[in-house]
Structure 1
């Protein structure tokens, strides 16, 4: 249900009195709401609510708050949700399973994270499994889009079409109102080539890209009639150009590419096939904003601390400014909007609101609180993160998020260093349940955007190439030195916690810099880099693929000799470790295999070092289930409080 608290767009939101820290389960449970989407006509909301350990899609009338439908998802993991017109909801789920097709002759070896898409008809209360009855086609999808075509909302899905023993990545148009599903196009035979299709606002298939991961050949093709014509071709073993969306002007695409070490976006004319001048992006760009009807770019998300939204049209900019001014001192980000951009949902985070979804009706000049992002965590229970910058040992500026525990003086605090995964990712000021949980227990939490992170320009990312376990690692301990020098933290009470690459960084922290950290918690972290590459090659069909090249670039490998990785593999450096280690890993992890944590546990045990291994049953790499999120948090906090008491 809505918390129907009406506030004027210019009104203040008042904080509640201080309260005791919530139980750790409040942080680990599934979010109260996810994917809060306004219908195209602005009359309904669709959102995801937890229902025990599964999720339910709720559709609600905005005029009176009445629930129109509740759609249970079951045991599968809900990934994406989108409106298809005003009366249909498409949702994608995934499960870890063996890939099969509708053809008995096709059975792919091995397991994968398999996605399927269903459409719910709000009028008839019926479901449709996309591509389920399409001949010679698997009923799994790898991407869906929505367009208005022939006066009706259509769903465009990418699936696999089979012919004999060959399979072809293909684009289908699904008529959710009962018409036939049509095959629009097929790419080359699936192997090392991936295909991406580009649709215009009316659903016309106007362009496509093809990338051969094995040979590094990339090309962009434009359609003229029934034929495809290449207009751009490049050799790109890594970092191929990317399609950012339809350009601001008709008949243009926005193409992103690396030029002289910088991310550059250029419009490409579909008429002439020529690239235009680069867009003038003074702060860089984290993403573009697109019109819901034309699907052309109408603004961008700037590459600054606040991820500022800037619109090309003055009217759009004025409307957005009105919304952000309604929540002074708080961070406002767009979640969804109606086709006319008069009704929208925004996420608001700050000391007055906490972290909540707000429905904004620009036409009526009012806003309504939909609900908190996490049940039981209002403004009085949430710490306020802030961005800081410190110097690495070689002088490079390292941006980071610092979250301090509420109600404690920022002096001589215990610290948890919480590096992100990726490693090509970044931490910002959005609501983060993991750092909030740790801060609620009395720890300062530092989330460094070490070199190699994304979000700060290509030069910053490239500074991490070859620095895995080296400067990418010391960037973290340089943050500890910075906070210790300011007196904010006690350098004798520091632990390191992380997931995926962050899990590797946690293990490398106690192995490579044993004097810095009192303990380490690794969630799905890498421990033996050479064996990780061997596993990747076995899954990717050998050495010649973009994924393996990506990891080798960060790890600093040239040629065939990988023996140098041993010095940066925590499982092979356990004799240096002095601190206790907690390992946590999901059994269904297909990104970093469970074997990596088992190798580390065995090595530590053989060396007589203190170690615990917590197995998350039926969990993937992303902690998709509330029970295992809570299990991870409980194990982590119990371990931290013993190894590094907060008081």
Structure 2
């Protein structure tokens, strides 16, 4: 469940944010399952065959040919793999991947990425000029849980010789847990770790604002305790030399600024502050490094649905920036005058949907594309080179099955994710000069390019006439069959979040593989569909009521279409989805055969008090539960009939206190509900809100499937078919 307005207080122009992975910090000698042999470094025979049709493609700026690999092209037609006809176990879909968060060095010689090892993730580096050489371990990545834990939460390249990692240290301060954030650079030549501007650093010294890859200098926003601790949380900006971690002052603290933004030339141009109690976001701006900052915005959005005009990229040589704004109902891209905040005409939009963001070049001086959503998340490129590469790769992999993950500064080498729509995928390196396309690694070794269960974005009509989009996953072994069992899976959030056909949430595939139709609705209040649709979820009678009706209405609509049997339906979710699952089990026991609730909120008054203490009075209103908090709380309504419910809680969940699940379970028992029959309760001792390890993630999906099978089997005698043979993996 996501609480509080999602506002980036210190956006960066042109520098991708260090990805937050919420993992840990230690060294380990082994590297897990990697195969860098000749066979694995060549595309599949089918891929090579499809590539031959794209051989003579040309780009205005870069000559491009996707040349098939001769050795692969001469292979005999592959036999049908067992994964095509057999049934893949649920656990195989949630294991740590072989490769994720891949980042190529600016010169294209090395690749840093996360890989699974013994159920955890480790950060490794691969020599792209010598793929036969095993990847080199840099650091292990886990989840900080207790005082004393260390966590590597993200990484990126600075220049060609340093991978800079964000490290978090969790400490006990006067009985409360606090995270200290620092940067550490890994020197790929010496193998040494170099502390980055640690001297006099305070609680947070980990936000990069600007990078000059040529010089190895970058701007770092950090708290400082050099003179006192009175301005804790009011950061300064220093210029850091990645080679030795030395630094010099660029921007001193400001008593009303808690975050800074720099332009594509390394000039600090804006400052931000927000109040969890008043909700006001204050923005300061200046035209250049010689000017003074002045306040240009200081307002609160009491609806939590407006878009704050935060600059996404400063336009060089002007007082303008690109912003996203819902000024006309949907998030569109505008040019804005930063002195007056006057919007120009929209320069990019997607009819009926919110634009998700802009994509800039590495320098942050040019827009090269946009992030869009229409039920599926896309990168829409306007840069001719990137657009041509994308189109050429889609000729090889299929429409929507080629994602440009990262690329070198000269656009010669691209890291590409191929697959993900019709089949499981893998990571490839594509050389635009030679036309070579090489497989680096499958996402998961066991599955390789196993066929996926088809996913579609479809519309249904709620009982009050509202049109709602849902992501529907159909079981591939039962295509064309009618009246199938269904699992309705509401997403977390709830507001501003949404499900997409290519969402990273992995539970639709394992359950569809077992024979269920899985429907993930973007119920009213979900993001992506404009301000009015999001406001509908915040209206009186929305939270826990009309939003809950949207889930029930799925059964009516898709039942009438014949796709599902409304009498064979369960509801399942995590975070807000866990709340909705428990609310469904409590409010609509006659609708759902069972419920599976993970990391949910079950007592709203209790949670609202927690939020007010930890997020501030204003931010605690983000959930829009003030109208009837007791009435929409499943834990306060445990008498009466309930659908059988599986309750899973993470003991180290820092977002949803474990007392939520404890309260629900205690009240169920007081109401005479029997554990093992009416409910099952699982406490994940090592779990957090993010399901960080294989063991806790596998436990979640396997327990969920067992509960579904017990109360709503995927296959019953009247179906007329039998489950395919379950495949066993080593």
TM-score > 0.5 by shorter chain: yes
Name the residue aligned to 2:518: 445
| In the alignment, structure 1 residue 436 sits paired with structure 2 residue 497 | no
Name the residue aligned to 1:614: 682
Name the residue aligned to 1:599: 663
Deviations 1:48-67 (A, max 9, x none): 11222432222112233134
Deviates more, 1:523-532 or 1:305-314: 305-314
Please say if residues 222 and 231 of structure 1, whose CA atoms lie closer than 8 Å, have aligned partners that are also in contact.
no
SS of 2:414 mapped into structure 1: strand
Name the residue aligned to 1:425: 497
Please say if residues 571 and 604 of structure 1, whose CA atoms lie closer than 8 Å, have aligned partners that are also in contact.
yes
Name the residue aligned to 1:536: 611
TM-score (norm 1): 0.89
Change (3 A) 1:618 1:568: same
Cα RMSD of the aligned pairs, angstroms, is 2.7
Q: Distance in 2 between matches of 1:112 and 1:222?
A: 33
Name the residue aligned to 1:253: 321
CA-CA distance at 1:568 after TM superposition: 0.8
Please say if residues 522 and 582 of structure 1, whose CA atoms lie closer than 8 Å, have aligned partners that are also in contact.
yes
Name the residue aligned to 1:337: 407
Q: For residues 142-221 of structure 1, what are the structure 2 equivalents within 5 Å?
A: 143-148=207-212, 151-162=214-225, 163-167=228-232, 168-178=234-244, 180-189=246-255, 195-215=258-278, 216-221=280-285
Name the residue aligned to 2:554: 479
* Count of paired positions: 622
Q: Distance in 1 between matches of 2:307 and 2:88?
A: 46
Deviations 1:501-540 (A, max 9, x none): 1110101111122221111111110101111101111223
| In the alignment, structure 1 residue 458 sits paired with structure 2 residue 531 | yes
**Counterpart pick for 2:419 among 335, 342, 349:** 349
SS of 2:666 mapped into structure 1: helix
Name the residue aligned to 1:104: none
Q: Distance in 1 between matches of 2:130 and 2:422?
A: 27
SS of 2:194 mapped into structure 1: strand
Deviates more, 1:413-422 or 1:325-334: 325-334
CA-CA distance at 1:600 after TM superposition: 0.9
SS of 1:421 mapped into structure 2: coil
Deviations 1:38-87 (A, max 9, x none): 21112221111122243222211223313462113265454322111111
Q: Distance in 2 between matches of 1:488 and 1:86?
A: 53
**Counterpart pick for 1:50 among 100, 109, 116:** 116
Please say if residues 596 and 704 of structure 2, whose CA atoms lie closer than 8 Å, have aligned partners that are also in contact.
yes
Unaligned runs of 5+ in 1: 100-106
**Counterpart pick for 2:297 among 230, 233, 237:** 233
Q: Distance in 1 between matches of 2:257 and 2:597?
A: 33
Change (3 A) 1:475 1:194: farther
SS of 1:5 mapped into structure 2: coil
CA-CA distance at 1:234 after TM superposition: 3.5
Name the residue aligned to 1:266: 334
Please say if residues 426 and 455 of structure 1, whose CA atoms lie closer than 8 Å, have aligned partners that are also in contact.
yes
Change (3 A) 1:600 1:11: farther
Q: Distance in 1 between matches of 2:95 and 2:178?
A: 26
**Counterpart pick for 2:183 among 109, 117, 122:** 117
CA-CA distance at 1:598 after TM superposition: 0.9
Deviations 1:206-243 (A, max 9, x none): 22233334331422322544553225223124446143
CA-CA distance at 1:589 after TM superposition: 1.2
| In the alignment, structure 1 residue 396 sits paired with structure 2 residue 469 | no
Q: Which has the higher contact order (CA 8 A, sep 6+)?
A: 2
CA-CA distance at 1:270 after TM superposition: 6.1
Unaligned runs of 5+ in 2: 1-34, 54-72, 144-150, 716-730
Change (3 A) 1:138 1:328: same
